[in-house]
Amino acid sequence: MQREQISVFDMFKIGIGPSSSHTLGPWRAAQQFVQMLEQEQALELVEGIKILLYGSLAKTGKGHGTDIAILLGLSGDDPVTFDVNAIDSKISSIKTSHKLMLAGNTQIDFRFDDDLLFLFNESLAFHPNAVTFQALLMGDKAMSATFYSIGGGFVVKEGAQNQNKNEVDLPFPIDTAGDLLHWCMKTGLKISEVVMENELAWRSEQETKSGVLNIFRVMKECMYRGSHTKGNLPGGLNVSRRAANLNKKLIGSNTYNNFGEWVTAIRQTGEGFKNILDWVSCFALAINEENASFGRVVTAPTNGAAGVIPAVLMYYVCFCDGFTDEKIIQFIFTASEVGSIFKKGATISAAMGGCQAEIGVSSAMAAAALTECLGGTQRQVLMAAEIAMEHHLGLTCDPIGGLVQVPCIERNTMGAIKAITASQLALQSNPENAKVSLDAVVKTMWQTAQDMNSKYKETSDGGLAINIPLSLPEC
């Protein structure tokens, strides 16, 4: 059986908020459809396009910016490089002109309300996040394709064979935590070192390390920006940003002009428990407020959970002397491997598994990464991941108004704190006495996901989404 091969750059993708499954995935799907038209030499024959959104993409698509992402993807824009400040003007131009430039060079007529359809009561069997593109060609011909956004920015095309990219011979093939522990025990390597050996099958060590540091660059820029931006979040809930005010309160009279100086200033505020707790919350809030504002973020492993891992990493940087390139790379490597185990054995899609698949997985990833960086053994690392997920099992996804704001932003602070607690518990424990393995909790998470009512899976049909009037401010 073909193993799924997941790189650190699959788990951590640079993109634009607010959702990896509802924004980044559909954006990539639109790009792939345009590429398909180009490969079939049909792009210049297109006279019109219909876009059909199913299931969760339909029900929470407007709040998550699915429509915006798809139009930008069809236009030939890339989420890694597109100027986030130009989103509103470009979408407004498409809507008012009734024109869409496919791939940036083929103009077609496009009417937003007629050609982009939200099929709220229809869902496809393979995955709740489904989108179908229908291109109407000259000569009464047509081409169509259906894509599934399966979480974390991963996209699967219906009917496509062998969708794994860049298949290589990995020295340490891993599907489960048991596989990972086997290789660690056999070689004596740390989890991060096993990851590095596997990454070398795709690219050089220098390329890999440079890419990971670029991931960290986007994380820290997002966090810094979010910690210094005030105002209300878009979408109609009028949720106030809190990170900037919290940062200002915590930093006191300390001054700084850039990220490095900010880290120094944060350290000068002290190491009291309450102070550290507030800072971790600030870090997580900052990331997810940026994410909710269509800012540039990193899937970790999703956009909705993008604040947990950076917040715990920032805790390590500021309060555990982890501000070195090698330590940051070690942290991100370890986190990525644990995330890949959850993706292979369960899901990282809230539309499939509820919020346990996003905040729960990110918390487990962060707990594992922090534990290794603080000197934990391989077994303690896996124990930390298990503890973090065990106490997220059953967490539902019930975004108010279909927006990644309430309760999503605060949940990132909770996931980060749980990760730190799980790490400390594991470091102070003997894994030989553990009653629950990481593989057991992955299996349990997937069973829980299958049993969970669909209204708690990113549909806004249940939970807080139906019990909090949209006119009320966040409590």
pLDDT at 167: 86
Question: ∠ at Cα 84 (81, 89), nearest 5°?
Answer: 120
Domain end position, chosen among 128, 157, 186: 157
Q: Are residues 211 and 85 in the same domain?
A: no
Question: How does pLDDT run across 319-368, given as a tens digit for each residue?
Answer: 998 999 999 999 999 999 999 999 999 999 999 999 999 999 999 999 99
Top-confidence residue, 164 or 22: 22
Q: Are residues 239 and 293 in the same domain?
A: yes
Tell me, yes or no, whether 264 lies in a domain: yes
Tell me, yes or no, whether 4 lies in a domain: no
Structure tokens at 370: 């922090």
Average the pLDDT over each of 161-170, 253-262, 362-371, 423-432 and give the range with the smallest value.
Answer: 161-170
Mean pLDDT of 3-20: 95
* 229: helix, strand or coil: coil
Residue 24 has phi, psi (to 5 degrees) of -65, -45
Contact of 143 with 48, CB cutoff 8 Å: no
Burial of 274 (C-beta count, 10 Å sphere; 0-12/13-18/19+) = exposed
pLDDT at 196: 98
Tell me, yes or no, whether 238 lies in a domain: yes
Q: Are residues 96 and 238 in the same domain?
A: no
Terminal-to-terminal C-alpha distance of the chain: 49
Mean pLDDT of 38-48: 96
Indicate which CATH number applies to the domain containing 101. Answer: 3.30.1330.90
Question: How does pLDDT run across 265-322, given as a tens digit for each residue?
Answer: 999 999 999 999 999 999 999 999 999 999 999 999 999 999 999 999 999 999 998 9
pLDDT at 2 over 80: no
pLDDT at 162: 58
Q: Are residues 287 and 151 in the same domain?
A: no
Residue 405, number of CB atoms within 10 A of its CB? 26
d(CA 439, CA 422): 17
Torsion 406-410-414-420 (CA) sign: positive
Q: Which domain holds residue 42?
A: 19-157
pLDDT at 74 over 50: yes
Question: How does pLDDT run across 163-173, given as a tens digit for each residue?
Answer: 555 689 999 99
Q: Which residues pair with 429 in a beta bridge?
A: none
Q: Edge-to-edge, what's the strand order for the sheet holding 129-137?
A: 116-119, 46-54, 129-137, 141-151, 154-157
Q: Are residues 119 and 189 in the same domain?
A: no
pLDDT at 164: 53
Tell me, yes or no, whether 218 lies in a domain: yes
Burial of 24 (C-beta count, 10 Å sphere; 0-12/13-18/19+) = buried
Query: Could you tell me how many residues make up the chain?
Result: 475
C-alpha 125, offset from chain centre: 23
pLDDT at 75 over 60: yes
pLDDT at 474: 40
C-alpha separations of 33 from 30, 105, 152 in Å: 5, 15, 19
Q: Are residues 208 and 99 in the same domain?
A: no
Give the max Cα distance, the chain. 72
Tell me, yes or no, whether 12 lies in a domain: no
Top-confidence residue, 397 or 469: 397
Mean pLDDT of 229-233: 97
d(CA 472, CA 162): 48
Q: Of 303, 293, 291, nearest to 149 (Cα)?
A: 303
pLDDT at 374: 98
Determine what percent of the chain is predicted with pLDDT higher than 90: 95
Q: Are residues 94 and 214 in the same domain?
A: no
Residue 140 has phi, psi (to 5 degrees) of 60, 35
Burial of 345 (C-beta count, 10 Å sphere; 0-12/13-18/19+) = middle
Mean pLDDT of 171-189: 98
Transcribe 140-195 into DSSP letters: TEEEEEEEEEEETTEEEETT-S----S----SS--SSHHHHHHHHHHH---HHHHH
d(CA 337, CA 178): 12
pLDDT at 471 over 80: no
Give how many domains the chain has, as a whole number. 2
Q: Are residues 191 and 104 in the same domain?
A: no
d(CA 329, CA 345): 25
Tell me, yes or no, whether 8 lies in a domain: no
Q: What is the dihedral of CA 160, 163, 166, 170, to 10 degrees?
A: -140
Mean pLDDT, the chain, rounded, equals 95
- Residue 334 amino acid letter: T
Mean pLDDT of 44-54: 97
Domain end position, chosen among 157, 189, 222: 157
pLDDT at 469: 77
pLDDT band at 90 (very low <50, low <70, confident <90, very high): very high
